[in-house]
A and B are shown apart, each in its own frame.
Chain A
Amino acid sequence: MAEPLFSVRGLKVALPDMTRKPLIGRAPLAEILKGLDFDLPKGSVTGIVGESGSGKSTLGRALVRLLEPSAGSIGFEGRDISRLSEGELRPLRRDLQMIFQDPMSSLNPRHTIFNIIAAPLRQNGLGDRLKERVAEALQRVGLPQNFASRYRHELSGGQRQRVGIARALALSPKFVLADEIVSGLDVSTQAQILTLLEKLAAEMGLTVAFISHDLSVIRRLCQQVIVMREGRIVEASATDALFDNPQETYTRDLLAAIPLPEIDPDWLRPKAPA
């Protein structure tokens, strides 16, 4: 396997737990990620799965350093970025990009699509040839050039998500985090977005972390899979190995819970008591 782009050791994240916040004073910290170790090889697409609340998004947000870990290290190209300050992170930002789940709320309603895609370029010293670069980004995700002057409410859900991808890839980053980017879209649009991402990731040699709770999508897209539960890694392996021979019952349950478009009268029967 290629050398890792990310090399994460003992990663812990604790966040204030607002449900237990006393009337006065700070909310107690709740440990969301409880010590994770894994590598993301360069140029690979890694799926992160797990049920709701298992900490997938938290992990993703720690990787792109929207969150500061409470313990452990995040090696990015051999350098620990887990403690860098906002200022020290700035030069790294162009390499660590993200595509959001909700294409609506991730686009500012008051900026045109042009401005939305141009902003990261300007901010990262790519402000020259701005028009050209934005046009290129739009073309890459298959949007017509005249969309540049539109606002987000003038786009469909699938088109909005393409803008999200265009914005993330405009900087030619090394890493992209995709957090549930298709769960709000219908299957046809979903398939368009996924094939697009697959194609672009291969073309640009991107390293991608793809968060989803849909294992069917993960199987198609990813070379390796990390299965999470309650802030821990349950199982991590190459995709085919995981699907052909899941080691953990939790993984098997997750797989069995996916409704395949096939008739199976037994699927809804309660499991026979062991």
Chain B
Amino acid sequence: MSANLEPCLDIRGLSAVLPNGQRVLRSVSLSVQPGEVRALVGESGAGKTMIGKAVLGVLPKSVRIVEGEMLIEGEDLGRLDAKARRNLIGARTALIPQDPLTALNPSRRIGGQMTDRLVRILGWSGERAGQRIRQLLDEVQIRDPERVLKSYPHELSGGMRQRVLIAAAFAAEPRLIVADEPTTALDVTVQKQILRLIAQLQRDHGTAILFVTHDLGVVAKISQKVSVLYAGKVVEEAETAQLFAAPQHAYTRALIAATPRYTDPYASLKPVDESVLAGLTAEIVTADKDWRPGHG
């Protein structure tokens, strides 16, 4: 993977604030190369989902972007008008959501929901969309696609639903997929199958993935690069192998130490040290003091 390739997603110095002026993202920069899986890891409330939403253009109304830019395959989203931006995002990105049940309309059959996007946004014919979906359902190893297409969401198990959503995400051949904790709701055995599927599809289709998770175990298995997020700030960024071999930031080290591992029970389960957190908070507070929106 050469460094002079144009990144598929490039976020530069992105900051966002809440109505009360509190910052939720602090000059976040990260990029995803074509065909790369970039993990975004951090504890609850760090702002992982917020970044994913910013990329997909679905931030809550109360959250305002105050500086920074986002480029999808070199096109600056900030320079486009709302409609062009929506079209660009619709055509080149897709989302695999965390909770497969709430992401599907309970009163519609799976088939219609899956082809909708292809027909509406990409303007495909119904027939072509149908074919494509069947092909993808096959790729995610759903044995009886016809039955699944005719089912309602509640008639499928959690693992099946997540497969359906993965198939739907890959169907439109997006350049970039944002996967927001796609396996957190699943048990470990199903999680492994799903991760394997995502990795395989990603390789076959050459898709770039921004993979949001709080599980360092998942990070180690699926990603090539990692950004570690704390309180809306990227505290460390590295190649995945590098990160686990030699974590640079104290917070990253603490996070790795806190991740349980059955192979080494006594080395694990150390809560992140208060002093590390205090240091980070102090760092952020000083940085916030000097910060003015828009001057970075």
Direct contact between A and B judged by beta carbons closer than 8 A? yes
- Interface membership of B38, Cβ < 8 A: no
- Interface membership of B222, Cβ < 8 A: yes
A213 touches which one: B187, B218, B256, B261 (CB < 8 A)? B187
Of A5-13, A26-34, A191-199, the one with at least 4 CB within 8 A of chain B: A191-199
Interchain CA distance A269-B43 in the complex, whole Å: 28
Q: Are B195's CB and A268's CB within 8 A?
A: yes
Residues of A within 8 A of B260 (CB): 187, 190-191, 194, 214, 216-217, 219-220
Residues of B within 8 A of A261 (CB): 216-217, 219-220, 244, 256, 259, 261
Q: Are B258's CB and A191's CB within 8 A?
A: yes
Interchain CA distance A218-B265 in the complex, whole Å: 9
* Interface bits B201-222 vs A (CB < 8 Å: 1, else 0): 0000000000000111111111
Q: Are B44's CB and A157's CB within 8 A?
A: yes
Q: Are A52's CB and B158's CB within 8 A?
A: yes
Interface positions of B from 243 to 274, Cβ below 8 Å from A: 244-245, 254-256, 258-263, 265-266, 268-272
* Interface bits A144-184 vs B (CB < 8 Å: 1, else 0): 00000000000001000000000000000000000000000
Residues of B within 8 A of A195 (CB): 269, 271
The minimal Cβ–Cβ distance linking A94 to chain B, given in whole angstroms, is: 30
Measured as residues with beta carbon below 8 angstroms from the partner, the interface class of chain B is 35 or more
B217 touches which one: A255, A256, A258, A268 (CB < 8 A)? A258
The minimal Cβ–Cβ distance linking A108 to chain B, given in whole angstroms, is: 23
- Interface membership of B29, Cβ < 8 A: no
* Interface bits A255-270 vs B (CB < 8 Å: 1, else 0): 1111111111001111
* Interface bits B41-52 vs A (CB < 8 Å: 1, else 0): 001100000000
- Interface membership of A116, Cβ < 8 A: no
Name A222's closest neighbour in chain B (CB-CB): B265
A215 touches which one: B43, B191, B262 (CB < 8 A)? B262
B214 touches which one: A187, A191, A264 (CB < 8 A)? A187
- Interface membership of A186, Cβ < 8 A: yes
Q: Are B195's CB and A259's CB within 8 A?
A: yes
Residues of B within 8 A of A89 (CB): none
Q: Are A190's CB and B258's CB within 8 A?
A: yes
A216 touches which one: B43, B186, B262 (CB < 8 A)? B262
- Interface membership of B285, Cβ < 8 A: no
A185 touches which one: B44, B222, B269 (CB < 8 A)? B44
Q: Are B43's CB and A189's CB within 8 A?
A: yes
The minimal Cβ–Cβ distance linking A145 to chain B, given in whole angstroms, is: 19
Interchain CA distance A269-B199 in the complex, whole Å: 9
Q: Are B271's CB and A216's CB within 8 A?
A: no
- Interface membership of B189, Cβ < 8 A: yes
Which residue, of A217, A243, A253, A256, has the highest number of chain B Cβ atoms within 10 A?
Answer: A217
Residues of B within 8 A of A269 (CB): 196
Name B188's closest neighbour in chain A (CB-CB): A257
Interchain CA distance A194-B268 in the complex, whole Å: 11
- Interface membership of B27, Cβ < 8 A: no
Interchain CA distance A157-B241 in the complex, whole Å: 31
Residues of B within 8 A of A243 (CB): 262
Residues of A within 8 A of B268 (CB): 191, 216, 220
Residues of B within 8 A of A255 (CB): 262
B262 touches which one: A157, A186, A258 (CB < 8 A)? A258
- Interface membership of B190, Cβ < 8 A: yes
- Interface membership of A188, Cβ < 8 A: yes
Interface positions of A from 227 to 256, Cβ below 8 Å from B: 243, 253-256
B192 touches which one: A190, A194, A259 (CB < 8 A)? A259
Q: Are A257's CB and B271's CB within 8 A?
A: no
Q: Are A270's CB and B187's CB within 8 A?
A: no
The minimal Cβ–Cβ distance linking B261 to chain A, given in whole angstroms, is: 5
The minimal Cβ–Cβ distance linking A261 to chain B, given in whole angstroms, is: 4
Interchain CA distance A195-B245 in the complex, whole Å: 26
- Interface membership of A51, Cβ < 8 A: yes
Q: Are B261's CB and A216's CB within 8 A?
A: yes
- Interface membership of B98, Cβ < 8 A: no
State whether A214 and B241 are in contact (beta carbons under 8 Å apart), knowing that A191-B271, A259-B195, A268-B222 are contacts in the complex.
Answer: no
- Interface membership of B115, Cβ < 8 A: no
Q: Are A220's CB and B269's CB within 8 A?
A: yes
Interchain CA distance A254-B196 in the complex, whole Å: 15
Q: Are A268's CB and B221's CB within 8 A?
A: yes
Residues of A near any B CB (own CB < 8 A): 51-52, 157, 185-192, 194-195, 213-220, 243, 253-264, 267-270
28 A–B contact pairs at CB < 8 A? A51-B189, A185-B44, A187-B214, A187-B216, A187-B255, A187-B260, A188-B254, A188-B272, A190-B258, A191-B260, A191-B270, A195-B271, A219-B260, A220-B260, A243-B262, A254-B188, A255-B262, A260-B217, A261-B217, A261-B219, A261-B244, A261-B261, A262-B261, A264-B220, A264-B221, A267-B221, A268-B195, A270-B196
Counting from the closest, the 9 A-B pairs by CB-CB distance are A259-B217, A216-B260, A186-B43, A219-B262, A220-B265, A192-B271, A191-B271, A188-B272, A216-B262
- Having A52-B186, A189-B271, A268-B221, one finds 17 other A-B pairs with CB under 8 Å, namely A52-B187, A186-B43, A187-B216, A191-B271, A214-B188, A217-B260, A220-B268, A243-B262, A255-B262, A257-B192, A259-B188, A259-B192, A262-B244, A263-B244, A264-B220, A264-B221, A268-B195
